[in-house]
Amino acid sequence: MSYSTKVLDHYENPRNVGTFGKDDEGVATGMVGAPACGDVMKLQIKVNKDGVIEDAKFKTYGCGSAIASSSLVTEWVKGKTLDEALTIKNTQIAEELALPPVKIHCSVLAEDAIKAAVADYKAKHGEMVETAACKG
Amino acid sequence: MIKQPIYLDYSATTPVDPRVAEKMIPYLTEKFGNPASRSHEFGWDAERAVEEAREQVAKLVNADPKEIIWTSGATESNNLAIKGAAHFYKGKGKHLVTVMTEHKAVIDTMRHLESEGYEVTYLMPETNGLVDMEKFTAALRPDTILASVMLVNNEIGVIQDIAALGEVCRAKGVLFHVDAAQGTGKVTIDLAKLKVDLMSFSAHKTYGPKGIGALYVQRKPRVRLEAQMHGGGHERGLRSGTLAPHQIVGMGEAFRIAREEMATENERIRYLRDRLYKGLSQIEEAHVNGDMEQRVPHNLNISFNFVEGESLIMAIRELAVSSGSACTSASLEPSYVLRALGRSDELAHSSIRFTIGRFTTEEEIDFAIDLVKAKIGRLREMSPLWDMFKEGVDLSTVQWAAH
């Protein structure tokens, strides 16, 4: 399989790899996927007092497209409010990275990771939200 | 400076040995005759070349040249052997036996026969990839027409005990087919001794050209097959179609070289494989797939836990290797061979197959070891599963959201 230059770029130079400190304030975590399916994404967001995501980090077990998708969303969610972050759709991720049809599930997983992280934040801060189950 | 990418995928295919290519070329140009032309020297020359090659193929496996039928490759040989026998002997019964780790050319042929009303038993191998003799014996029934077991597995390189399996089949009156595509030049094959009725061969796994193979059809006791390709009645009516002398000559020469050089070559390759194994097994959580003793010398199939196979292949683009990970194939399922061994899906997704060959050097192996070590480290730093493992989390107890 050949990869788009954008996938290769994110794969070679992944943005925001890492983990926030356990006690960091305003941190929420979304972990989606399953090892048996070949990909697991962990997305962490750090939300400031104004409800804006000021930083994000990821760790991903998966193929190059999965790593690139998670790297990309860490860039995209930064500076967004939680509700704005939820408007990021898998189709935008797939389009940006020029993912082939067989890799669309990687972008779906990245979208799910954002939803899971936001849901985690809201749950920790007393807001109940519908969480999206993994699919794709 | 080593030429890159380094080819470590000799079980996928091999380059044509230059000696083989040289021998093939005249049969494309000046010696272009049709071996079926009986009326002139062009045809006679081609026929002689074809028969010489048949002899070389037969010699490698200690068979009679009359028992060798040319085909387009091992896939066709497998189809002809299994469908041909199933159809010819349908009066005996409708049952066939094979193993879950066979090549798709056998599995899919069996599936097709199921759609025709045949019944197939797919045996589960042991966790080392080998077939259990008792389970195999128990699977053979009075109405079993044929059993098909490969000599060498294409993914994990394990060698089945064809001699013992053949004895069981012969004693029970069941035809025994062996796909030996991955075995020629690696394992000594003596068909005069083995109780094998049908054996499939391929040229391109043994430094011959692609597009040519052969099927051994035993004469004593005689095995009958229903032809799958109809036409001019070539190859004793078993496989019609104009023969391709350049390809056939190539296969003959490749098998001659294999016979003469396999003993020394396998020793050299085993040394390189063991060197690779030693280097890579220094990596934490590296697991070899398949039995390490009953195994061809050129194969190393290894899973690096918590790293996904395709991302590793991307990271080691300087090496041409393959993976049992779903992502290298069109489907999203990981290797069915590794799953049949009872390997977890995680480990199946994390597997890399290294296959070494005639033109691999020690320098290349050392380069590969260093590269893999470095890249595994980088990918694990990025892997949430590695973090969890390091924190002592048992991944099998985690509730994952399947997707």
Q: For B94-147, write each residue's pLDDT tens digit.
A: 999 999 999 999 999 999 999 999 999 999 999 999 999 999 999 999 999 999
Q: Does A135 touch chain B (CB under 8 A)?
A: yes
Mutate to test the interface with A, among B347, B382, B390, B398 (most CBs of A within 10 A): B382
Enter the DSSP assignment of B180: -
| pLDDT on residue B336 | 87
**Partner A, chain B 369-398, Cβ-Cβ below 8 Å:** 381-387, 395
| Nearest by CB: A32 against B306, B345, B401 | B401
| pLDDT on residue A135 | 39
| pLDDT on residue B335 | 84
Cβ neighbours of A3 in B, within 8 Å: 314
| pLDDT on residue B331 | 55
Catalytic residue chosen out of the listed positions A106, A108, A110, A119: A106
Q: What share of chain A is helix, strand, coil (3-state, %, to 5)?
A: 45, 20, 35
Question: Exposed/middle/buried for B160, CB within 10 Å: 0-12, 13-18, 19+?
Answer: buried
CB A74 within 8 A of CB A58: yes
| pLDDT on residue A25 | 85
- Nearest residue in B to A43, CA atom: B384
CA-angle at B384, arms to B379 and B386, nearest 5°: 65
Instruction: Please identify every stretch of chain A with a pLDDT value under 70, giving residue numbers as ranges.
Output: 1, 127-136
Q: Is A63 among the catalytic positions?
A: no
Q: Does A117 touch chain B (CB under 8 A)?
A: no
Contact between chains at A14 and B311 (C-beta distance less than 8 A):
no
Q: Predicted ipTM?
A: 0.89
Cβ neighbours of B346 in A, within 8 Å: 35-36
How many beta carbons lie within 10 A of that of residue B220, not counting itself? 7
3-state secondary structure B123-158: ECCCCCCCCCHHHHHHHCCCCEEEEECCCECCCCCE
Bridge partner residues of A30 (DSSP) = A43
- Nearest residue in B to A64, CA atom: B311
CB B357 within 8 A of CB B341: no
CA neighbor of B191 nearest in space, from B91, B64, B305, B296: B64
| Nearest by CB: A37 against B382, B387, B402 | B402
| pLDDT on residue B382 | 95
Place of tokens 């387009």: B72
pLDDT in tens, chain B (403 residues): 788 999 999 999 999 999 999 999 999 999 999 999 999 999 999 999 999 999 999 999 999 999 999 999 999 999 999 999 999 999 999 999 999 999 999 999 999 999 999 999 999 999 999 999 999 999 999 999 999 999 999 999 999 999 999 999 999 999 999 999 999 999 999 999 999 999 999 999 999 999 999 999 999 999 999 999 999 999 999 999 999 999 999 999 999 999 999 999 999 999 999 999 999 999 999 999 999 999 999 999 999 999 998 899 999 999 999 987 655 455 556 788 998 999 888 888 889 999 999 999 999 999 999 999 999 999 999 999 999 999 998 888 888 875 5
CA distance B127 to B292: 12
Q: Calculate the alpha carbon distances from B9 to A61, B14, B322, B332, B370 in Å.
A: 25, 8, 7, 22, 18
CA distance B361 to B379: 27
Cβ neighbours of A106 in B, within 8 Å: none
CB A30 within 8 A of CB A60: no
Cβ neighbours of B386 in A, within 8 Å: 61
Q: Is A37 among the catalytic positions?
A: yes
**Partner A, chain B 311-350, Cβ-Cβ below 8 Å:** 311, 314, 325-328, 330, 332, 334, 344-346, 349
The alpha carbon of residue B323 is apart from the nearest alpha carbon of chain A, in Å, by 12
| pLDDT on residue B2 | 84
Question: Exposed/middle/buried for B241, CB within 10 Å: 0-12, 13-18, 19+?
Answer: middle
Enter the DSSP assignment of B15: P
Contact between chains at A34 and B400 (C-beta distance less than 8 A):
yes
Its pTM stands at 0.91
CB B76 within 8 A of CB B70: no
